[in-house]
Amino acid sequence: MKKGTKIVVGALGLAAAPLAVAAARTLALPRKRAEYNMSDDEERKTLYGDKLSKMVQVETVSRKGEPQVEKFRRMHGRMEELFPTVFEKCEKIEIDGNLMLKWKGKTDKAPIMLMSHMDVVEAPGEWKHGAFSGDIAGGKVWGRGAADTKGSLMCFYQAVEELIEEGYVPECDVYLSSSCTEEIGGDGAPKLANWFKEHGVLLFMLCDEGGAIVQNPVSGVNGSFAAVGIFEKGHGNIRFIARSGGGHSSAPGRNTPIPRLAKFVSRVERKNPFEVRFSPAVEGMFKQLAPYADNFGLRMVMDNLWLFKPIAKKIIPLVSAQAAAMLQTTIAFTMQSGSEGSNVLPQEADVVGNMRFIPHQNMAQSVETISALAEKYGLETEFLGGNDPSGELDLNGEAYRLVTKAISSVFPQVGIMPYVVIGGTDARFYGEVCDNCIRFAPLCFDSQQMAGMHGLNENVDLGALPGGVDFYKAVIKAQEER
């Protein structure tokens, strides 16, 4: 054999060795199924559904510039009717319509907080059931807020109501928190977070919305999975401006403002300018999903990112926008303006991009990257404000362990996966008073229910409510293990 041939064969052997290791690991990986079973306890379903229905019937749409404190106090009154023991035994703290209750525990050290916002988005369009009817039909509670997030709000209030009635005393103080401005990014949660700073209280953990029990989270992986959000991306808006001397449209020059903007937008869409990187959260997600993948090849890639990560970085953005958003900063162009006349070249035109920042390329770095690219097209940039990504929950920490143990105890057949929250939650405001912010609401949603949260026909299954109540009980009792 010639020397050159030996080198080629040797190189192929070196390449084959890692593949053989990956294949062997995958063959040894136990196959799993992930299933969610709705409760068949008709008494609990009826009780919880009726309470949630009454909460949905109180219209709590939040609007920028319209505090409407009395509207939210009406919601407080409804909740006091539904959970009288909680309001009797817990200390009530209200700040401008934002509500928090403190359930005294055996110690005031390292308390926990359960939270979900009480405000909802507008409900336009034609609904099968009135948007604020709270109708119970087809095994579901219908109406704006049923899923986002009065469902989880009802569940943890009901959990505490039942525990108090049983005579249970929590190991630590437990706070029940609900802002009235989450949907408009308002100052409700910051005011509540500031209360903790003013009183010198440091939370051990909080549990907010952000993740849920979802169906078929990745193409090729089927079943029900508890997506536990361990951090959320930052967000901000940036304006890109193209200027010129204007003129009449009958004699257009080259590179007028709108074409320059169009070339820039096309470039960003064609070739992602942001760094793609696997965070511990995403690596953990794929590792947890691997045993559930339908085919051998997908299982091998997911379970062996140490080998396939370079390929996965290129493939994932092509097959899933949701998964791609977990790997990089994103920008979506959402608004544009130009000339007011169809025959006038604009002196100024602009587009606005909504950005979602990833920890490995934070707000400042991401804005710098996109601004440098815009400059190459003769564009100015104006940053309109935003915030950095949140801190990241330790996957090896006690808080994550306790929450995932609670999930497994209540939903034993459901898979569990860490998850990057690509939207925004109130939890982001608590970074200074809580090191362990967990974003998980224990309700199960299918794709239609996910779409309905800010769309038409929002609903939640009655059979999902008992499990939600039991989860919050388990989280509270889990603090005894600390």
Evaluate if residue 473 carries a pLDDT over 50. yes
Residues whose CB is less than 8 angstroms from the CB of residue 240 and which lie 6 or more positions away in sequence, other chains included: 261, 264, 350, 351, 352, 353, 374, 379, 380, 381
Whether residues 204 and 248 share a domain: the answer is no
Whether residues 203 and 241 share a domain: the answer is no
For the chain, give the mean pLDDT: 93
- pLDDT value at residue 108: 94
Report, as an integer, the average pLDDT of 65-78. 94
Is residue 28 domain-resident?
Answer: no
Evaluate if residue 134 carries a pLDDT over 70. yes
Lowest mean pLDDT among 81-95, 212-226, 314-328, 355-369: 314-328
Report, as an integer, the average pLDDT of 225-249. 94
- For residue 108, the domain's CATH number is 3.40.630.10
Whether residues 153 and 113 share a domain: the answer is yes
Whether residues 191 and 47 share a domain: the answer is yes
Evaluate if residue 14 carries a pLDDT over 90. no
Is residue 221 domain-resident?
Answer: no
Q: pLDDT, tens digit, for every residue of 371-408?
A: 999 999 999 999 999 999 999 999 999 999 999 999 99
Is residue 452 domain-resident?
Answer: yes
Evaluate if residue 320 carries a pLDDT over 50. yes
- pLDDT value at residue 349: 96
Is residue 1 domain-resident?
Answer: no
Confidence of residue 12 (pLDDT cuts 50, 70, 90): very low
Whether residues 205 and 240 share a domain: the answer is no
Dist. CA 387–CA 383, nearest whole Å = 11
Query: 24 vs 242, which has greater pLDDT?
Result: 242
- pLDDT value at residue 13: 46
Whether residues 178 and 116 share a domain: the answer is yes
Whether residues 143 and 64 share a domain: the answer is yes
Whether residues 182 and 256 share a domain: the answer is no
Evaluate if residue 5 carries a pLDDT over 50. no
Evaluate if residue 16 carries a pLDDT over 90. no
Is residue 401 domain-resident?
Answer: no
Strand 380-387 to strand 234-243: parallel, antiparallel, or no bridges (unpaired)?
antiparallel
Whether residues 151 and 266 share a domain: the answer is no
Q: pLDDT, tens digit, for every residue of 281-309?
A: 899 999 999 999 999 999 999 999 999 99
- Domains identified in the chain, total number: 2
Lowest mean pLDDT among 9-23, 33-47, 230-244: 9-23
- pLDDT value at residue 251: 78
- pLDDT value at residue 7: 41
Whether residues 88 and 164 share a domain: the answer is yes
Evaluate if residue 2 carries a pLDDT over 70. no
Evaluate if residue 15 carries a pLDDT over 80. no
Is residue 412 domain-resident?
Answer: no
Whether residues 118 and 63 share a domain: the answer is yes
| Phi (first) and psi of residue 358, to 5 degrees | -100, 150
Intra-chain end-to-end CA distance of the chain, in Å: 66
Q: pLDDT, tens digit, for every residue of 443-464?
A: 999 999 999 999 999 999 999 9
SS3 sequence of the chain: CCHHHHHHHHHHHHHHHHHHHHHHHHHCCCCCCCCCCCCCCHHHHHHHHHHHHHHHCCCCECECCECCHHHHHHHHHHHHHHCHHHHHHCEEEEECCEEEEEECCCEEEEEEEEECCCCECCCCCCCCCCCCCCCEECCEEECCCCCCCHHHHHHHHHHHHHHHHCCCCCCEEEEEEECCCHHHCCCHHHHHHHHHHHCCCCECEEEECCCCEEECCECCECCEEEEEEEEECEEEEEEEEEECCCEECCCCCCCCHHHHHHHHHHHHHHCCCCCCCCCHHHHHHHHHHHHHECCHHHHHHHHCHHHHHHHHHHHHHHHCHHHHHCCCCEEEEEEEECCCCCCEECCEEEEEEEEEEECCECHHHHHHHHHHHHHCCCCEEEEEEEECCCCCCCCCCHHHHHHHHHHHHHCCCCEEEEEEECCCCHHHHHCCCECCEEECCCCEECHHHHHHCCCCCCEEEHHHHHHHHHHHHHHHHHHHHC
Whether residues 83 and 124 share a domain: the answer is yes
Domain containing 450 equals 42-212+423-481
Q: Quote the percentage of the chain above a pLDDT of 70.
A: 97
- pLDDT value at residue 222: 94
Global confidence as pTM: 0.91
- For residue 354, the domain's CATH number is 3.30.70.360
Is residue 8 domain-resident?
Answer: no
